[in-house]
Amino acid sequence: MIVLALALSLAGTAQAAPPSPWLDFSLSSGGIASSCAASKAVVEAKLAAVAQTANQASFEATARAFSSALAEYGDALASPTFLAEVSTDAGVRDAGRACDTDSSRFMVDVYGREDLYKALKAVPAAGLTGEDAKLLAETLLDFKRNGLELPKDKREEAQALRKHIVELSTEFRQALAEEKTTVPFTEAQLAGVPDDFKARLKKDGDRYLVSLDYPDYFPFMENAKDPGARRELETKFSNRGGEANVRRLAETLKLRLQAAKLLGYPTHAHYVLEDRMAERPEAVQAFLKSLRPKLEKKAKPEFAALVKMKDADEGAVSDHVMRAWDWRYYHNQLLKDRYQIDDQKIKEYFPLDLVTDGMLGVYQDLLGLKFTEIVPADAWHPDVKLYRIDDKATGKLVGHFYMDLFPREGKYKHAAAFSLIGGSELPDGSYQRPVSAMVANFEKPTAEKPSLLRHSEVETYFHEFGHIMHQNLTLARHRDFSGSKVARDFVEAPSQMLENWVWRPDVLARLSGHYQDRSKKLPKELLDRMIDAKNVDSGIFYLRQAFFASADLAFHLEPPADTTKAWSKLMEEVMLVPMTPGTHPEASFGHIMGGYDSGYYGYLWSEVYAQDMFSVFEKAGPLDPKTGARYRKEILEVGSSRKEGESLRAFLGREPSDKPFLQNIGLTQ
C-alpha cells in the first residue's frame, strides 16, 4: 500500500517510543467512560486543594496550580476526545463524544465556582510580570465572563444555558460526522468526471454512488457536465445535517444571546469578540464593509464571464444566472479553456509521498528542525504515521506529530490539526513537549496509482502542517498561552502565510514529480499558467468567505426567526449567488457550532496579517533560514504569552499593513 513511504532521506527512522504517557489510542468505549470519570475525580481533588488556598493565596499555589490542574485534565482527555473524531469503532466515537460533552459541561461548572474565584481573586497581583501577570488577569476575566460577578440565581441560569449549548453543539457536529448519504448516478450523468474518480466509486447495480465527502463532492461539482446531476448532488450536500440541525442551530443562537445578556453583553458577538484582536463587532463590520465593495468590483465581471460560458452551453434554456451548482464547474472550465489548467493532470505531478517528503524538508530547513519517523506508530489506525521533532542545532526534543491523511467511515471529514498534548513548564522545571495530529481526507492510493493531490490540496497540506508547527514549537511557560492558543482571529495567520510556499518554483521543484517518473517535475510553462490563473475568480472566492463571515456575525448579533431565509438573503446579497431552493446550508455550517461562532471573519482578518508576514519572507527569500528563525522566535514560540499585535510588530519590524493582502488576491486600493 502506497501511503507515506517517504523514502525518508530527510527524516530518518527511529524505534517506537510513546510520545506521551497521557496517550492511549487502544481505549474501548468502556475504557473511555471509566478514564473520563477517573480524570474528572483527579481534577476535582486538585481544584479542591486550590480553593483551600484562599486565605494564603499565592501565584504558584493558586493561579498556577489552577492552570496546571486544568492542563493535566486536558491531557488526560486527549485520547478519549480525539478518538471521537478518528476511531473506526462507532461505539468508541460515541463514547468519546459523550466524554467531550461531559467535560465541556464540567468546565462550565468549574468557572462557576465561587470558592475558586475567591481564591484566585486573593492572589497578589503586585510584582507579577510577563506571562504570570497575563495568566492571573485572564483567568480572573474568564471567571467574570462566566458570571461570577452575577447574583447566584443568574449565574446558575447562565451555567445551565451554557451546558445546553454544549449538548446541542455536540449533536450538531455528530450529525455531520455520521453523514453517510450517497447519490446514485448513471454513466451518462458522470460525463466529464475523471476516469480515475469514476473507477473508485462504489456501484449499486448500473449506477455509481457519489458520497457527500469532499474527495467525491468537489471533483464531481468541478467536472460533471450534466447541470441536473450537479444540482442533485449540491442539493443533497446543502441539506447535510437535516432539519434537526436547523433546529439545533436556531436554539443555540437563542441560548447564546440569552447567556450573553445575562452576563451584561448586548449580544453573543460582543461577548465573543471581547478577547479577540478585533475586540468589538463594530470593528468586524467595518472590516467587512471596507472589503466587500473591492471584492464585488472584481467578482461581478468574473460572474459575468462564467454566465456567458453557461449561456453558450445551455443555449435557449439557460436562465442566465450563476447557480450554486454551476459556479465551481464553470470556474474549472475557465481554467481548462483559457489557461489550459486541468487539476486532474496537475495532480499527476503531486504524489502524496513525494509531496510529504518535500514538505517536511522545507519545514525542516526553514525552521531549523529535524523530523524522524517512529516505527511502529502504535496509533489508532494502520495508515497513521508518527514523527519526532528535534531542534537541528541542539538535537533537543521539540515535540511529536501524527499524520492521518485518508478518509474512512466515521472519521472527521475536513482537514485539521489537533493539539493533543500541549507544551508547558512542569512543576519540576522541565518542559512537557507537545504532541499534535494532522487529520486530512486525501484520495486513497489504489493498486494502479498512488495518492495524488490537487494543487489546492498541496496548499491545504502546507496550511495544516503550519498549525502543527505552531502547536509544537511553543516555548510558552503556561499551557493557556501554548502553541496555537492565540486569539481566534489570529490563529489562522501563520498557516495561511505558509500557503504561499506552494506557489514558489524553488519549492515546487522539491514537491513535484510525475507519479510515473519522479524525475519529471511540474513543467515551468504549466506553473507559469497556474500563477497567471492564481487570482482567476478570486473575487468570487473571497466574497464567499465574506458571506460566511457576514452570516455568522449577523446570526450572533440578532438571531433570525428563520435561519434558512436569513441565510438565503445574505447569500444572494453578499456572495451574489442565490441559494438552491429546498436546501438549508446553515445546517452543515460546522464552524458556527465548533468554536468559530462570531469568529468566522477571522479567516479573512488573519489573512491580512498572513500576507503581510509573507512580504518579509519575499524580501529575504522564502527559504531564508535567518528569517525562518526569526519567525519561529517571534511568532511560533511565543504563542499568546504576549499580545498578538506585539508579536506581529516584532516580526515585521513595523506596523501591520493590508497592502500585501490586497495585492496577493489581485486587488488594488
Mean pLDDT, residues 75-79: 97
In a domain, 501, yes or no: no
The strand pairing partners of 373, in sequence order, are 13, 387
In a domain, 43, yes or no: yes
Summarised one tens digit per residue, pLDDT across range 220-279 is 999 999 999 999 999 999 999 999 999 999 999 999 999 999 999 999 999 999 989 999
Q: 191: alpha, beta or left, given left = phi > 0 and alpha = psi -120 to 50?
A: beta
Q: Which residue, chain included where needed, has cell 496517550? A: 23
Domain boundary among 557, 582, 600: 600
Domain co-membership, 37 together with 150: yes
In a domain, 377, yes or no: no
Mean pLDDT, residues 455-462: 96
Domain boundary among 581, 600, 619: 600
Domain co-membership, 195 together with 299: no
Statement: residue 18 has pLDDT above 80: no
CATH number where 134 lies? 1.20.1050.40
Summarised one tens digit per residue, pLDDT across range 527-583 is 999 988 989 999 999 999 999 999 999 999 999 999 999 999 999 999 999 999 999
Domain co-membership, 322 together with 221: no
Instruction: At 69, give phi and psi (nearest 5°).
Output: -65, -45
Domain co-membership, 40 together with 161: yes
Domain co-membership, 213 together with 328: no
Supply the range of the domain harboring residue 554: 242-248+279-341+538-600
DSSP string for 429-463? S-EEPPEEEEE--PPPP-SS---B--HHHHHHHHH
What per-residue confidence (pLDDT) applies to 7? Answer: 32
Domain co-membership, 222 together with 314: no
In this structure, are residues 476 and 483 in contact, taking their beta carbons and an 8 Å threshold?
A: yes
In a domain, 14, yes or no: no
In this structure, are residues 87 and 96 in contact, taking their beta carbons and an 8 Å threshold?
A: yes
Statement: residue 140 has pLDDT above 90: yes
What per-residue confidence (pLDDT) applies to 343? Answer: 87
pLDDT > 70 in the chain, percent: 97
In the chain, how many domains are there? 3
Domain co-membership, 134 together with 195: no
In this structure, are residues 86 and 380 in contact, taking their beta carbons and an 8 Å threshold?
A: yes
Domain co-membership, 124 together with 34: yes
Domain co-membership, 154 together with 199: no
Summarised one tens digit per residue, pLDDT across range 264-321 is 999 999 999 998 999 999 999 999 999 999 999 999 999 999 999 999 999 999 999 9
Summarised one tens digit per residue, pLDDT across range 576-588 is 999 999 999 999 9
In this structure, are residues 399 and 476 in contact, taking their beta carbons and an 8 Å threshold?
A: no
In a domain, 191, yes or no: yes
Domain co-membership, 37 together with 135: yes
Domain co-membership, 145 together with 67: yes
Contacts for 86 with CB less than 8 Å, ≥ 6 apart:
380, 381, 404, 411, 412, 437, 439
Tell me if residue 644 is catalytic. Answer: no
Alpha-carbon distance of 149 to 132, in angstroms, equals: 23
Summarised one tens digit per residue, pLDDT across range 586-640 is 999 999 998 899 999 999 999 999 999 999 999 999 999 999 999 999 999 999 9
Decide: helix, strand or coil at residue 640.
coil
In a domain, 468, yes or no: no
Flag whether the pTM goes above 0.75: yes
H or E element, residue 311: helix 281-314
H or E element, residue 204: strand 202-204
In this structure, are residues 368 and 352 in contact, taking their beta carbons and an 8 Å threshold?
A: no
Decide: helix, strand or coil at residue 150.
coil
Statement: residue 4 has pLDDT above 90: no
In a domain, 389, yes or no: no
Statement: residue 645 has pLDDT above 90: yes
In a domain, 108, yes or no: yes
What per-residue confidence (pLDDT) applies to 669? Answer: 56
- Mean pLDDT across the chain, nearest whole number? 94
Domain boundary among 154, 172, 190: 172
The pLDDT confidence band at residue 472, using thresholds 50, 70 and 90, is very high
Statement: residue 9 has pLDDT above 70: no
What per-residue confidence (pLDDT) applies to 16? Answer: 54
User: Which position among 222, 373, 464, 586 bears the catalytic label?
Assistant: 464
Statement: residue 58 has pLDDT above 50: yes
In this structure, are residues 307 and 321 in contact, taking their beta carbons and an 8 Å threshold?
A: yes
Statement: residue 200 has pLDDT above 50: yes
Mean pLDDT, residues 160-180: 92
DSSP string for 365-399? HHHTEEEEEEES---SSTT-EEEEEEETTT--EEE
What per-residue confidence (pLDDT) applies to 2? Answer: 20
Domain co-membership, 43 together with 137: yes
Mean pLDDT, residues 149-156: 92
Statement: residue 1 has pLDDT above 50: no
